[in-house]
Amino acid sequence: MITTMTMTTNMQTEMARRPAHLATIVFLLVSLCAPPALARSPLSPDPYLLTPVPQTPASQTKDWQALAGADPVLQAMRAELDRSKSKLKIEDVAAPYYIEYRVIDFDDYSAEAAFGALRTDVRTRFRFLRVVVRVGDYKQDSYFGQGEGSVNFLPVDGDVLALRNQLWLATDTAYKLAAQALTAKQAQLKQLTIDQPVDDFARATPVQSVGPLVKLEFDPHPWTTMLVDASALYKTDPQIENFESSLKFQAINRYFVNSEGTVVRSGQNYYEMNFSARTQAGDGMSLERDKDFSVSSITALPSAQTFVAEAKKLTGTLKDLREAPVVEEEYRGPVLFSPTASVLIFGDLVGDNVLGYKPELGKNGRTTKAFANSYKSRVLPDFLSVVDDPTISSYKNQPLLGHYEIDDEGVPAQRVSVIDNGTLVNYLIGRQPIRDFPASNGHGRARVPSFPTEPHTANLIVSSSQPVPHDDMKKKLLELCKQRDLAYGYFVDTFGAKLAPRLIYKVWVKDGHEELVRGAVFGDLDTRSLRSGLVAAGDDFYIRSHLLNIPHSVVAPSVLFDELEVKRTNVNKETLPEYPAPALAPPK
């Protein structure tokens, strides 16, 4: 309800997720089936070369060097990188001009409960390796198609020789794939006309940073008990068809070295808990609710009492939704969005579109997203500005999930002003340049477990130079409705997937009361309406933190649009179950 539209913590709502350990394994098995290529290895295994890097006394080296020397993973990575730089060469193929090794040490605990019982309980530990070898030069190289790297597993213990052997094999594969990719790319370029050529790779100053490692240390029992207790709430409502709860705890240690001299190690813990429930209205309409808690410290997770209380509150809204009327077939007028809903609008319509993806070969656009042709143009009202800042770990004393010091390409994190007073002034990019942006601004990120780097948001923060007091936002909604002789406006409290409202209310002009409705979709909630239809932003805010793929946060206030189309969904309704669920108590 509007009366509860207050400042909240980073508890993400309405975006259900599932543990991804099975998908991770499938991805890796597919990735490891790389085709053989070219001649025999230029880096044949040599027992005399495959030895640990000699250690320099700590008193004679910098701190990072001492720490790197004591880490078997970094020992192996640096030793094989040095050997690859001097040995990697095939006849009639240019030697690499750049090599990088990225290792993700991934310790993951996932659990799920459903209908008051534990369903899965899985602890996994992997080390993932991605090797990129670039042939050519910074202007034109082999990072194209299969030349984007070789992926493999690494041993999870500290056996330096075993680690180096795996690095050697992956480097050999990556070099051969790079040679083939450059040949294919050059052949394709002969058939294309490039009006505004852009370099393939940006130079970067080498950095050295060896941070502390993290571990996943906790007692799983109280946490799985929370999942079981929450999912048992299905018993309180016989019309709930499904009630699930899940958690994902991770310790991720990242290692990165390259031939330019960069050496980076960093570690971060992530913790996420979720519950979701589904029911059906009498007409067969499927109704879902869910809620997430995503944090970087286990102490920031809700207590058992709070977790179950929030789940109980969610079940109450499902009952309200079943009894709510279906939205009118057509409405065009003012719509108010809570901060909880607003963060999803800005995340989808702004966050995704300020990413500086380089267009495909032969295409001359600046980027591939909706803002590709909007550089130095207005994309938001002039009272709104947007920054992305990975250098901060909190906002107004509330934690953010997108903090990092050095990105996954070895470039220091930077605060970037993306939209200034409504005008797009920057894109977020990594080391793959785009037109007018020749250098990285520290936003090259890699999805776990071992995907290529790509530009990504970190902590996307939307602010207003003309914030409207929280209590006045509803008044402005009703004023706009009166001006148009509308009997009601709409208030959206929460979204589901694809910006589909889950909790949406009619707000009646005559007395301001709110009526829950269901089955609504927006016909024109897009970048155009964001630019031209947004007329006010509140002085409140919400933080949505997202763990899946690449950890990041979005901060945004409530917003008011003067005109949006709200219509009835045309999704096919599901058939109600033919017979009731099992009895909660066995027959006597």
Q: What's the one-letter identity of residue 278?
A: R
pLDDT at 341: 98
pLDDT at 30: 45
pLDDT at 2: 59
User: Are 496 and 441 within one domain?
Assistant: yes
pLDDT at 583: 81
Asked if the structure places residue 309 within a domain, the reply is no
Asked if the structure places residue 46 within a domain, the reply is no
pLDDT at 179: 96
Could you write out the three-class secondary structure of 440-509? Answer: CCCCEEECCCCCCEEECCCEEEEEECCCECHHHHHHHHHHHHHHCCCCEEEEEEEECHHHCEEEEEEEEC
pTM: 0.89
Integer Cα distance of 383 and 463 in angstroms: 8
Q: Give me the number of domains the chain comprises.
A: 2
Integer Cα distance of 541 and 534 in angstroms: 16
CATH number at residue 87: 3.30.2290
Integer Cα distance of 149 and 170 in angstroms: 9
Q: What is the pLDDT of residues 327-356, one digit of tens each?
A: 998 899 999 999 999 999 999 999 999 999
User: Are 426 and 511 within one domain?
Assistant: yes
pLDDT at 53: 33
**Minimal CA–CA distance to 512: which of 488, 548, 480?**
488
User: Are 261 and 357 within one domain?
Assistant: no
**Entry field: residues in the chain:** 588
pLDDT at 48: 29
pLDDT at 62: 59
User: Are 420 and 439 within one domain?
Assistant: yes
First to last CA, the chain: 44
Task: Say if residue 397 is exposed, middle or buried (CB neighbours under 10 Å; 0-12, 13-18, 19+).
Answer: exposed
Integer Cα distance of 522 and 537 in angstroms: 20
Integer Cα distance of 375 and 371 in angstroms: 7
Alpha-carbon torsion (429, 434, 435, 436), positive or negative? positive
Q: Which domain holds residue 123?
A: 21-36+62-192+199-224+253-267
Residues of the chain below pLDDT 50: 3-61
> What SS3 class is residue 255?
strand
User: Are 257 and 374 within one domain?
Assistant: no
